[in-house]
Amino acid sequence: MPLLVSLQLALYVLLWALASAALKDERRAILQWMGYALASAGSVALLGWRPDGPIWLTHTGSSAASLLSLMLASRGVLLFLGLRPNDRLSIALAGAAAMGLGWVGPSDTASRLAVAGFFNIVVIVGGFVQSRPAFMREFGLRLAVAATLPSLILIGMNGYFLILGLLGRAPVISAQKGELPMAIWVVTLVSAAAFNYLFLFLVGFRMQQSLQRQATHDVLTGLPNRRAMAQRLQLEWDRSQRYGKPFVVISADVDHFKSINDRYGHALGDQALIAVARALRASARDSDHVSRVGGEEFLILMPEAQMASEGLPKAERLRAAIARLELMAPSGEKIALHASFGVSGWLASDQDREQVLRRADRALYEAKHKGRDRVVLQPD
Ligand SMILES: Nc1nc2c(ncn2[C@@H]2O[C@H](COP(=O)(O)OP(=O)(O)OP(=O)(O)O)[C@@H](O)[C@H]2O)c(=O)[nH]1
């Protein structure tokens, strides 16, 4: 039985090796989980190994490998969540566990199981507590509850060993043959499957989220892109058609941006765009949808505004926020930034959503024409 279980656990090494080849971004965590799968397979294999030498030594090795596997699993979780594992604490814990197992030595199996069970619980609980807040932040309550399952199973199993060990009763039917009750093998396999498949799923889930974000967000500024804006605009348009609920759009364009690029270089131009995006986002309401729809073009959708004229003070605030920005060239020269704005609102007579955008663009064009760094309301 130990060999069969060990083989099953070793399959997860293969699984993580494949995942590591495909998912480079998560490689650091995946390598830890590969180590975890390897150490847990080794720990079980040692239980089934019957060397000529003293059996307690292989069993002690098995306990040490099991502790190592849990440490690697927990290290992988911390790295996966962008947290820094405390290596000093891990080394101290491994040292204390080695001393504990050495102190038990060739004596009874029960004491060894109690020591191993105790340290295993410390590692599982420690990793769980450390990773919990970051896990909840990224994956939410439901997945956090699901992720508790492997930890709970392992805490339960090790708690069982610890209590039996303290009572002086080893749960081994025949330690010499490495045979443990069937339930222990089942629990080992279930907890390993729960951990490995859960984190494999989370790696894929994160990748899918990131692809989705890339498809709808601009990489440079982090704002929603033209595609996301089109979706949002369609939503507002549908609402206005159905319920007559108006909305306002503000089209913004950085003034003379080409000359910033030409004089100070593309990298500084990028910095300017990031600064403008931040200023727009900071000066808009949470309910406003701010997006980058082109090179130096931005669009602000105000779903709560009733009339185009309500967009005027908002656009004026955004204009002033950009005019306050000051960028520093590598030479120390200060670079002023300005932008022009066109404001338009939904009209009941509009045939499609493009009409609202076209009016905002016409207003923006007029703002440029009139000398830039200003706001123009849609022409009637
Ligand atoms: N640095 C940088 N430049 C960009 C990016 N996207 C577009 N641009 C540049 O933005 C400039 C836009 O120039 P124009 O359309 O002539 O507009 P402008 O110079 O701002 O002039 P007006 O709008 O008339 O005030 C071009 O030089 C583009 O190369 C980007 O992501 N980063």
- Compute, in angstroms, the gap from residue 277 CA to the centroid of ligand 1: 14
Average pLDDT over residues 90-117: 82
pLDDT tens digit sequence for 200-246: 999 999 999 989 999 999 999 999 999 999 999 999 999 999 998 89
Domain boundaries, the chain: 2-216, 226-377
Rounded to the nearest angstrom, the gap between the alpha carbon of residue 376 and the centroid of all alpha carbons in its chain is 42
Per-residue pLDDT, 322: 97
**Distance between CA atoms of 73 and 75, rounded to whole angstroms?**
5
CA of 257 relative to ligand 1 center, distance in Å: 5
Over residues 257-314, the pLDDT tens digits come to 999 999 999 999 999 999 999 999 999 999 999 999 999 999 999 998 888 888 999 9
Q: Rounded distance, CA 225 to CA 233, Å?
A: 12
Helices (H), the chain: 2-22, 27-48, 55-80, 87-104, 109-166, 182-216, 226-243, 257-264, 266-283, 308-323, 353-369
Residue 56 has pLDDT above 80, yes or no: no
Pick the CATH number of 226-377 from 3.40.1710.10, 3.40.120.10, 3.30.70.270, 3.40.50.920: 3.30.70.270
Give pTM, 2 decimals.
0.71
> Mean pLDDT, the chain, as a whole number?
89
Ligand 1 close to Cβ of residue 271 (< 6 A): no
The Cβ of residue 144 has, within 10 Å, a number of other Cβ atoms equal to 16
DSSP assignment of 13-78 equals HHHHHHHHHH-GGGHHHHHHHHHHHHHHHHHHHHHH---SS-HHHHHHHHHHHHHHHHHHHHHHHH
Residue to probe by mutation, ligand 1, list 253, 268, 296, 340, most atoms within 8 Å of CB: 296
The CA 362 to ligand 1 mean position distance, Å, reads 19
**ipTM value:** 0.93
Cα-to-centroid distance, 343 and ligand 1 (Å) = 21
DSSP state for residue 379 in the 8-state scheme: P
Question: What confidence category does residue 21 fall into, taking pLDDT thresholds of 50, 70 and 90?
Answer: confident
Residue written as token pair 């889930």: 205
Closest listed residue to residue 326, CA positions, set 261, 257, 272: 272
